């Protein structure tokens, strides 16, 4: 008896804790405390943390409290006094950017991120940054997608899918990624959806079980998943700005700061980036992008998933098309004609479906101190974007009327190159 008692004293608490944790993860979600403090929301909005990107609770809470989703990738990490988060903080805007994206996150990742905040995007506004560099022949890097992959977002989407073209294509693309095969039952579910079939009863039972566990886990741990706090960085940058917003004064300051931070090279690339990434092998990079093209890519189909979801949610979106650093572009041989054709193709995909809020900056790559490195905006770039972002988000906009065209999922569109006849292209796949 003493041995049994001793064993119970040792293993009893462990067993009890395990049973308690099991009960917590399987309990109804309404039992959890879903309150997220303003401080947590503020820190998460600028953290650029993959854990925040993959979660649900914090994003939903923030978007219900005047935060606006800013979808994109690594450009959001380029903080300076004119960054959207800094300007919104300094000048007490009625909105706050919630930065969604980091290095390597592209359209397919963003589509699944949207599944966790669909209700918060309905009839609301958003900003979406479209990087030309996403549209390479391979499309989104499977390793990058795996890094940002969220089983919670996948189960949320499966619970809502209706067998539409959007759903079938999303399942097809997910199955092309290693993430889509990481759970065999989910993989089988995706295969049925891609084929236009409903998941089986057993598959949905499993999906619902996994969703409940993942959702409870997110509610328990999400508040502790903000490893990076950029609040001080934003405050320090805001301190460099004048108290009153005056464009000419700010533009002059942007030029001055840009000149100070790019004085180590002739490409107007930030000194830190230049010294760490380019300085020691710049000669080897001359002409290395001469054969690069952004015209043929599965990314166009993934981008259509994003547009389809925005239309489904009736989200009014401002799309930003950035330039590339023209000085660097000429040095590396990146074709200016190809970039012009990319701009034409992506703009056509947007406007032909009713996405008319486009801040096309593709011709500004030669403006002094517009870019902070080879492909990311800085100083004057951020400031010019603000001329579109601020009025779009603070003034009332007409409700959009989208006309989704399924043919933009086609291989024909994804592989449309420089010889493509836009005028003769029939949009008959609605």
Instruction: For residue 246, give the 3-state DSSP assignment.
Output: coil
pTM as predicted = 0.91
Which CA distances in Å does 321 have to 16, 139, 248? 55, 18, 23
**Residue 399 has what pLDDT?**
94
d(CA 119, CA 109): 18
Greatest C-alpha distance within the chain: 88
d(Cα 154, Cα 56) in Å, to the nearest integer? Answer: 12
CA 148 from centre of chain: 10
Q: pLDDT tens digit string along 39-76?
A: 999 999 999 999 999 999 999 999 999 999 999 999 99
Give me the helices (H) in 131-194, please. Answer: 142-148, 151-160, 165-175, 184-194
Instruction: Output the pLDDT for position 226.
Output: 74
Alpha-carbon span 334 to 185, nearest angstrom: 44
| Integer Cα distance of 262 and 378 in angstroms | 11
- pLDDT, residue 24, reads 45
* Residues of the chain falling short of pLDDT 70: 1-33, 223-225, 227, 422-430
pLDDT for 35 equals 84
Query: What's the pLDDT score for residue 22?
Result: 45
Q: Look at residue 139 and give its three-state secondary structure.
A: coil
pLDDT for residue 227: 65
What is the reported pLDDT for 20?
Answer: 40
Helix axes 299-313, 336-351, angle to 10 degrees: 30
| Structure tokens that stand for 191 in this block | 């295969």
Tell me what pLDDT residue 215 has. 95
State residue 425's pLDDT score: 60
Question: How would you class 10 by CB atoms within 10 Å of its CB: exposed for 0-12, middle for 13-18, buried for 19 or more?
Answer: exposed
Owner of token pair 């917003």: 245
The pLDDT score that the predictor gives to residue 10 is 53
Question: What are the residues whose beta carbons fall under 8 Å from the beta carbon of 109, sequence distance 6 or more?
Answer: 53, 101, 140, 144, 145, 148, 149
pLDDT of residue 424: 59
Q: How far apart are CA 416 and CA 398, in angstroms?
A: 32
- Rounded CA-CA distance 21/40 in Å is 24
């Amino acid at each position: 008896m003493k041995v049994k008692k001793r064993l119970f004293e040792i293993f009893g608490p462990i067993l009890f804790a395990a049973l308690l944790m099991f009960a917590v993860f399987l309990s109804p979600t309404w039992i959890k405390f879903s309150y997220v403090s303003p401080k947590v929301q503020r820190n998460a909005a600028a953290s650029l943390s993959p854990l925040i990107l993959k979660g649900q609770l914090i994003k939903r809470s923030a978007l219900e409290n005047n935060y606006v989703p800013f979808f994109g990738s690594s450009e959001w990490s380029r903080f300076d006094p004119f960054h959207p988060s800094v300007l919104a903080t300094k000048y007490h805007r009625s909105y706050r950017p919630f930065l969604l994206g980091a290095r390597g996150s592209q359209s397919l990742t963003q589509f699944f991120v949207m599944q966790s905040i669909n209700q918060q995007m309905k009839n609301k506004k958003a900003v979406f940054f479209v990087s030309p560099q996403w549209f390479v022949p391979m499309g989104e890097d499977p390793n990058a997608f795996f890094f940002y992959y969220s089983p919670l977002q996948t189960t949320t989407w499966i619970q809502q899918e209706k067998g539409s073209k959007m759903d079938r294509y999303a399942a097809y693309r997910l199955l092309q990624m290693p993430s889509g095969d990481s759970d065999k039952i989910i993989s089988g579910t995706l295969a049925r959806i891609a084929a236009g079939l409903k998941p089986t009863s057993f598959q949905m039972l499993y999906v619902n079980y996994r969703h409940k566990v993942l959702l409870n886990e997110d509610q328990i741990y999400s508040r502790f998943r903000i490893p990076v706090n950029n609040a001080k960085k934003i405050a320090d940058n805001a301190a460099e700005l004048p108290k009153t917003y005056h464009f000419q004064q700010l533009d002059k300051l942007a030029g001055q700061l840009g000149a100070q931070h790019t004085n180590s090279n002739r490409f107007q690339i930030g000194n830190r980036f230049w010294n760490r990434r380019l300085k020691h092998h710049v000669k080897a990079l001359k002409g290395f992008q001469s054969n690069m093209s952004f015209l043929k890519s599965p990314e166009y189909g993934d981008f259509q998933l994003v547009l389809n979801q925005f239309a489904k949610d009736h989200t009014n979106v401002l799309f930003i098309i950035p330039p590339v650093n023209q000085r660097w572009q000429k040095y590396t041989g990146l074709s200016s004609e190809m970039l012009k054709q990319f701009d034409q193709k992506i703009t056509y995909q947007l406007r032909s479906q009713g996405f008319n809020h486009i801040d096309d900056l593709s011709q500004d790559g030669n403006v002094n101190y517009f870019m902070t490195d080879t492909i990311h905006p800085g100083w004057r770039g951020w400031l010019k974007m603000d001329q579109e972002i601020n009025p779009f988000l603070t003034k009332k906009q007409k409700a959009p009327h989208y006309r989704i065209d399924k043919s933009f999922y086609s291989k024909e569109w994804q592989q449309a190159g420089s010889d493509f006849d836009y005028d003769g292209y029939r949009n008959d796949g609605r």
